[in-house]
Amino acid sequence: QACTYPCQCPSQPLHCPAGTSHVLDACGCCKVCARQLGELCSLQKPCDHHKGLYCDFSKIHRGSGICLAHEGATCDLLGRIYRNGESFQPTCKLQCICMDGAIGCIPLCSEDLRLPSPECPNPRRVKVREKCCEEWVCEEGSEENRLETAMAVFREDPAQKPELNNLQENCLVQTTEWSACSKSCGMGISARVTNNNPQCRLEKETQLCMIRPCDFSMEKTKKGKKCVRTLRPRQSVRFELSGCSSSRSYRPKFCGSCTDGRCCVPYVTSTVEVEFHCPEGDFFQRKMMFIKMCSCHSDCPRDNDIFLATHHRRMVGDHV
């Protein structure tokens, strides 16, 4: 179909299956759901290039082709072989993809955190019949328990009980420390719980973090020293996230390494809003941790990589 300008795109938001990219059509106008491996494709219905797929028009049928993957290593999961670029669901709770020998998965069930609040003093997750994902239910507690829950979050005022319609004024802000970064190198995630919001409700929030790049060359330790605490790249760098890059460049501090088996981790940090721009023209903002000072100790956090398998490691049962 010929392109028409100015662009006219649907007003309704785009809803695609889990794990499917939003990509621009051939006119560069509207976002569409990317076609997956083995599906029919065209210029207006492009393949998911984020997964290394392309539209093969060698067997053209009415202007359509078939999405194929560029050559790459296959994936072995519990004895079953998946092709490069193939999406699959090992369980109803996970959507996975094989990317050149590595398996990456995203959860299909929400892992949101719900802590006690005045309107829901005893939340718990329950298994619902004929549904894969657990759901939150609020168990009714006694009035005494409700008041104890409320007073733990709101200012104590013997003359007045906290009013639900006046939450912000009575709210006592409570915020935990940020958790350790989920990855020891490369982009990871750190989380904390806070009630600093209009509803004064304890919620989980996350920020991006990078202790050090995975390909960062470490400086040699000085004579008599066993650790290099903080490092700064010689040139400015742009952060990469899901194929998108930060709109501006930074010279962040990174944590170094130790020669005596200890690990070097952030000690003093700050949080900054970083804007990312994507090849398709989209942009978004994410909170990101910036390191001010690092410390070295023996209580090392475990690495928690999103990829469940690599070329050199076979995954057995980790997805359950």
What is the structure's pLDDT at 217? Answer: 64
What is the structure's pLDDT at 169? Answer: 67
What is the structure's pLDDT at 192? Answer: 87
Neighbours of 250 (CB within 10 A): 15
- Tell which residue, 122, 171, 168, has the closest CA to residue 144: 122
Phi-psi region of 100 (alpha: psi -120 to 50; beta: other; left: phi over 0): left
CB 192 within 8 A of CB 179: yes
What is the structure's pLDDT at 304? Answer: 40
What is the structure's pLDDT at 246? Answer: 92
What is the structure's pLDDT at 223? Answer: 63
CB 69 within 8 A of CB 53: yes
**Per-residue confidence of the chain (320 residues) as pLDDT tens digits?**
567 778 888 888 888 887 788 888 878 888 889 998 888 888 888 888 877 788 888 766 667 888 888 777 788 888 888 888 888 888 888 888 887 777 878 788 876 667 666 677 778 888 888 888 888 888 765 555 544 444 445 555 544 554 544 555 677 888 888 888 888 888 888 888 888 888 777 788 889 999 888 876 656 656 667 777 788 888 888 998 877 889 999 999 998 888 777 788 888 899 999 999 887 777 889 999 999 988 887 776 544 433 333 333 333 333 32
Instruction: Give dist(CA 147, CA 101) in Å, integer.
Output: 54
Name 286's bridge partners. 274
> Which three-class secondary structure string do you get for 116-137?
CECCECEEEEECCCCCCCCEEE
What is the structure's pLDDT at 110? Answer: 75
CB 91 within 8 A of CB 107: no
What is the structure's pLDDT at 54? Answer: 86
Q: Where are the alpha helices (DSSP H) in the chain?
A: 143-151, 167-170
Domains of the chain with CATH codes: 1-70 (4.10.40), 73-136 (no CATH), 186-215+224-297 (2.10.90)
- The pTM score is 0.55
What is the structure's pLDDT at 272? Answer: 92
